[in-house]
Chains A and B, each alone.
Chain A
């Protein structure tokens, strides 16, 4: 079952603008991850934020986590055409399956960055 709900489903911006994607989830989590998928390719891990962290940065990426609202956001600053891809949030599944390793993915946000 899908736990993550992502918003918006699709986002189109111009190069240089910032892109913000949101993810909401339903159960308690230990961590939340963001992955990127270029069209027709596998997923690539971008960043992991733990439940006791509120914000994390990696290059042009900024991730926030609000466990009280069960939501996370991914901000890509100064976007480039090469950032065009689908972005997925994924939460760990400890609280559902009582075991590690499994992830539950959202349905993704399709980002298009126009040059």
Chain B
């Protein structure tokens, strides 16, 4: 099955902890994206990567970090510097030169 997977589905974090959200795709897409969604809101771009070993900040990158060591993988770390991390996080990918994005099922992060 081709697709994009995220894990875990639910994640609980204590204040002051860093946590890493996984995103993997086997669609052979070059570009990958991380979004944050708050209740009743649209998606806000955190980071994106258009090629391995390169990534750029989106609109709300503060308190987050990413890596892109492999084409298939784009993990997101939510650091303790992120003031309000409780949200639904969505990963997406797209083919180079196209605008249609394919989304994973999301990870819901809750800070206790």
Give chain A's interface residues, CB within 8 Å of chain B.
1-2, 4, 30-31, 33, 35, 40-45, 48, 88, 90, 92, 99-103, 105-108, 110
In the bound complex, residues from chain B placing their C-beta under 8 Å from that of A48 are 99-100
- Chain B contributes a number of interface residues (CB within 8 A of A) equal to 31
- CB-based contact A103/B99 at 8 Å: yes
Which residues of B24-75 have CB atoms within 8 Å of chain A's CB atoms?
Answer: 31, 33, 35, 40-45, 48, 50, 58-59
CA gap between A42 and B35 in the complex, in Å: 11
- CB-based contact B45/A102 at 8 Å: yes
- CB-based contact A105/B103 at 8 Å: no
Across the A-B interface, the 10 shortest Cβ-Cβ residue pairs: A42-B103, A107-B42, A105-B42, A105-B43, A43-B103, A92-B99, A101-B31, A42-B105, A42-B106, A45-B100
Asked if B82 is an interface residue, CB under 8 A from chain A, the answer is no
- CB-based contact A101/B99 at 8 Å: yes
Interface centre among B88, B99, B106 (most CB of A within 10 A): B99
Asked if B2 is an interface residue, CB under 8 A from chain A, the answer is no
CA gap between A1 and B43 in the complex, in Å: 10
- CB-based contact A33/B100 at 8 Å: yes
CA gap between A4 and B43 in the complex, in Å: 11
CA gap between A101 and B31 in the complex, in Å: 8
